[in-house]
Every structure is written in C-alpha cells, then in structure tokens.
C-alpha cells in the first residue's frame, strides 16, 4: 500500500501557508526508530508561528512520538527539528522554548497550586516577589484565581487540567505542547475546555501543538489538522478541507461518519466522471485520484428531496433510526444494490424503520479519495 509522501516543506495541496509568516516549528525528515519499530518515518512538517496545530490519528500513529521529539523527551534517530528557525534537535527539554501539558497533568503533589504554577519561574531564577503577580495572572487566565493555596489532590480533574495549563503558560513558551490534554475529562467539560484552549491560544499568541485521537475535538480547535497514521503524515490542512475534501480513504473514514463508495474515475473533457454503483457523477477535480478509487459521501450530503444541482441516487430502505438531538441518524440499505448507507435526517424527521426514501446528492459534494 503506497501512502502519499508529503515530502519536505509545506504539505501538498491548496492550504495556505504564506512564506512571509514567521517560522514557528519545522520538522525536517524526522524519523524515530525504537529497535525494529519505526514510530515516525521521515516526517517533514513546517508551520508558521502562532497557529493552533492538532496532530490527529489513531493510537500508534506516531503523533505522541512526534510531540515528544518536539518537547525534547526523545531524540530523533534522523532529521532536524527547528523552533523559530533555531535547530533544537539536540537540546534537552529544559533548554527548549517549549512547555508541555501532560496527559495525566503531572502536577507536583506535594506543592501548593501557587508553587506548582510558579515552579518554572523559580527554576529560571525569578524572585518570589516577582513570581507572585505572574502566578496570579496565570491562575486568573484559567479561571482559578482562588485556588492558589490549595493542593492538587483537593481539585477536580478539570481544575487540575487548568492548573497544568497555567503552569506551562507562565513560562511564556514559544510552543506549547498538549498531549491528549482533555482525554480524562467528561464530554461536557471537554467541549468547554476546547473553547477555552482556543481563547487562551489567541490571547497568548504562542504556537499550540495538541495531540488527540478525537476528530471532533480536532475540528473544533485546530487552525490546521495534521492527520497521522503509521508514523507518516496522511493529510494536513484546514479542518474544513480535511473534513469536506479528505485526500485519502483513511482520512475520510477517520474523520466523522462517512459512506465510502467504490468508484471508477476517468478524465472526461474538462472534468472527470465517477462511475459508481449508485450512478454516474461528474466531478470538478479529481487530480491524483484517477482509476479505481473511492468517493467520500458524507451522510449529511445525502438529501431526501430533489433540489438544484442534485442527482438522484435511487431509493433506500430505512433499517434503523436514532435521535441525536440536533439530527436523526439513520442506517439504510440501497434498494437496487444492497449497499448499506448512513443518512442524516432532520431533527423533526418522522422517518421510521421500514420507510422508503428517495435519495439525491449534489455531485460537487462528492470527494474522490486517493487509495
């Protein structure tokens, strides 16, 4: 199986990375091998300063390894790491302009919250009198101004997470590394912290590199998503682009609910045509995805009534309907071909299992996938 090698420099495709942006971080053909296992394979990735970058992928994809290489906890087997144009490949964590928010928070259990947050400044030789206002400001930024005198074990998981964030931000890192920081929080708290992380990132202006396997979290906070799989970069770009026009079959399946249709894509005059079991569809752009490929057909792109630019997909028999609050999700089977399809129906839909639905799609919403 041939995964596309993004090569050095900015990734492929139309995502805007302006050359005049100040350099933030750069991986230059970085590889990491543990014995016979290759965790990261010749990854090249450059991002301008001040972005919120999310490394997304399944566990074992190499994203945490990449983060550890950036933080200085691992020394890459090959390649160069630069932060703000400076080669930091061989620098220890203490000497890098990075700070890390660890997955399990790693607060100092024997110190007060104020001592935890002030630790980095203390290590930099900042006097207690000069530390106090900075510690207080950092605690205020994460909304825990009154926790200074308490100990970590007196706080809830969400509060500890904020303290870990404050502790890392108080040293004003150029790059903040977040290793699945919201993984241990419940869903509601997680969504709330996502907004807060984004707000804080805007405020401090540092580059944030955030590792997660939650694609919703990635889309909600990222300026740029880097999808990793098997130690390589599978795809990278704006969240909207990654979701709407995923480049590969893996990305299309990993990012949200999807229907993947086998298709034969051929050049047809100025455009392309995709031949599928559900019909023939014109495609505007299928560069690099010709031949036997797959099409990404999002459940919410399948309409149940005709409309402008919509082509019929045929009829489907609804097998199951679940209510998700904002919408209904339905599992259906295409009548003519027997293909299973996932559909998204409106909040007020009264569709029941056993109903027949006529389906339509605007072919502009179909995305051809590289194998």
Partner 1 sequence: MTPRTVRLRPADLLAAAYAALLYGFIFLPVAVLVLFSFQESRIPVPPFDGPSLRWYEAMFADRRMMEALVNSILVALVSSSVSLALGFLAAYGLARHRLPGAGALKLILTAPLTVSYLIIAMGLLITFNTLGVSRSLLTIGIGHVVINLPLCFAILYSQMGGHQAQIERAARDLGASEAQVILLVAVPMLWPALFAAFFLAFTFSWDEFIIALLVSRFDVTLPVEIWNMLRSGLNPQTNAVGSFVFLISFLFVIALDLALFGRRRARSRRGAAA
User: 131 by DSSP, 3-state: which?
Assistant: helix
DSSP state of 217: H
Cα–Cα dist 100/87, whole Å:
19
CB of 106 to partner 1, least distance (A): 4
For residues 164, 182, 24, 98, the Cα torsion angle rounded to the nearest 10 degrees is: 30
CB of 110 to partner 1, least distance (A): 4
- Number of amino acids touching partner 1 (CB under 8 A): 23
Closer Cβ to partner 1, 99 or 283, answer by number:
99
166 binds partner 1 (CB under 8 A): no
Closer Cβ to partner 1, 120 or 246, answer by number:
120
Binding-site member from 51, 63, 134, 167 for partner 1 (CB under 8 A): 167
Cα–Cα dist 57/259, whole Å:
19
Closer Cβ to partner 1, 46 or 115, answer by number:
115
CB of 27 to partner 1, least distance (A): 19
**Beta-carbon contacts of residue 48 (< 8 Å; ≥ 6 apart):** 17, 18, 21, 22, 23, 24
Pairing mode of beta strands 52-56, 224-229: parallel
**Interface with partner 1 in residues 93-152 (CB under 8 A):** 93-94, 98-100, 102, 104, 106-110, 119-120, 123-124
Closer Cβ to partner 1, 11 or 72, answer by number:
72
- Separation in Å, CA 48 to CA 10, 13, 52, 138, 290: 10, 17, 10, 25, 33
Q: Which string of b and e fits 82-110 if b means at least 16 CB within 10 Å?
A: bbeeeebbebeeeebbbbbbebebebeee
Query: Beta-strand (E) ranges in 132-220?
Result: 175-179, 207-212
Closer Cβ to partner 1, 115 or 220, answer by number:
115
Cα–Cα dist 305/97, whole Å:
55
**Interface with partner 1 in residues 260-299 (CB under 8 A):** none
Closer Cβ to partner 1, 49 or 126, answer by number:
126
Closer Cβ to partner 1, 37 or 94, answer by number:
94
**Interface with partner 1 in residues 39-98 (CB under 8 A):** 71-73, 92-94, 98
Cα–Cα dist 75/65, whole Å:
10
Cα–Cα dist 282/209, whole Å:
38
Sheet of 279-283, strands arranged across: 279-283, 271-276, 259-268, 291-297, 367-369
CB of 124 to partner 1, least distance (A): 6
CB of 140 to partner 1, least distance (A): 20
Closer Cβ to partner 1, 118 or 363, answer by number:
118
Q: Is the distance from CB of 335 to CB of 316 less than 8 angstroms? A: yes
**Interface with partner 1 in residues 169-198 (CB under 8 A):** 171
CB of 72 to partner 1, least distance (A): 8
CB of 201 to partner 1, least distance (A): 19
CB of 64 to partner 1, least distance (A): 13
CB of 131 to partner 1, least distance (A): 13
Closer Cβ to partner 1, 110 or 188, answer by number:
110
Write out the residues near partner 1 by the rule CB under 8 A: 71-73, 92-94, 98-100, 102, 104, 106-110, 119-120, 123-124, 167-168, 171
């Amino acid at each position: 199986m041939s995964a596309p090698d993004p090569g050095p420099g900015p990734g492929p495709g139309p995502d805007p990375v302006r050359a005049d942006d100040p350099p933030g971080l750069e991986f230059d053909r970085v590889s990491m091998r543990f014995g016979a296992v290759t965790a990261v394979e010749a990854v090249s990735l450059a991002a301008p300063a001040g972005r919120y970058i999310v490394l997304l992928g399944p566990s074992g994809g190499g994203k945490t390894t990449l983060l550890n290489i950036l933080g200085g906890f691992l020394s890459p087997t090959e390649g160069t790491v630069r932060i703000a144009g400076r080669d930091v490949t061989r620098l220890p964590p203490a000497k890098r302009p990075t700070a890390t928010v660890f997955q399990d928070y790693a607060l100092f259990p024997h110190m007060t919250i104020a001592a935890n947050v002030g630790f980095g400044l203390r290590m930099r030789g900042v006097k207690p009198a000069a530390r106090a206002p900075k510690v207080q400001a950092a605690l205020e930024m994460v909304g825990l101004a009154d926790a200074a005198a308490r100990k970590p074990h007196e706080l809830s998981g969400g509060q500890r997470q904020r303290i870990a964030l404050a502790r890392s931000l108080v040293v004003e890192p150029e790059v903040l590394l977040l290793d699945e920081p919201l993984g241990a929080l419940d869903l509601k708290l997680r969504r709330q912290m996502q907004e807060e992380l984004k707000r804080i990132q805007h405020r401090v202006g540092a580059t944030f590199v955030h590792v997660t396997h939650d694609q919703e979290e990635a889309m909600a906070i990222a300026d740029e998503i880097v999808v990793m799989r098997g130690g390589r970069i599978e795809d990278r770009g704006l969240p909207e682009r990654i979701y709407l026009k995923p480049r590969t079959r893996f990305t299309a399946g990993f990012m949200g609910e999807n229907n993947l249709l086998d298709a034969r894509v051929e050049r047809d005059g100025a455009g392309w045509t995709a031949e599928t079991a559900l019909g023939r569809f014109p495609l505007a752009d299928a560069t690099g995805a010709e031949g036997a490929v797959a099409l990404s057909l999002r459940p919410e792109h399948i309409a149940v009534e005709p409309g402008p630019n919509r082509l019929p997909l045929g009829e489907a028999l609804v097998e199951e309907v679940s209510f998700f609050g904002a919408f209904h999700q339905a599992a259906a089977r295409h009548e003519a071909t027997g293909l299973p399809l996932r559909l998204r129906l409106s909040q007020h839909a009264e569709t029941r299992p056993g109903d027949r639905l006529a389906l339509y799609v605007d072919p502009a919403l179909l995305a051809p996938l590289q194998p």
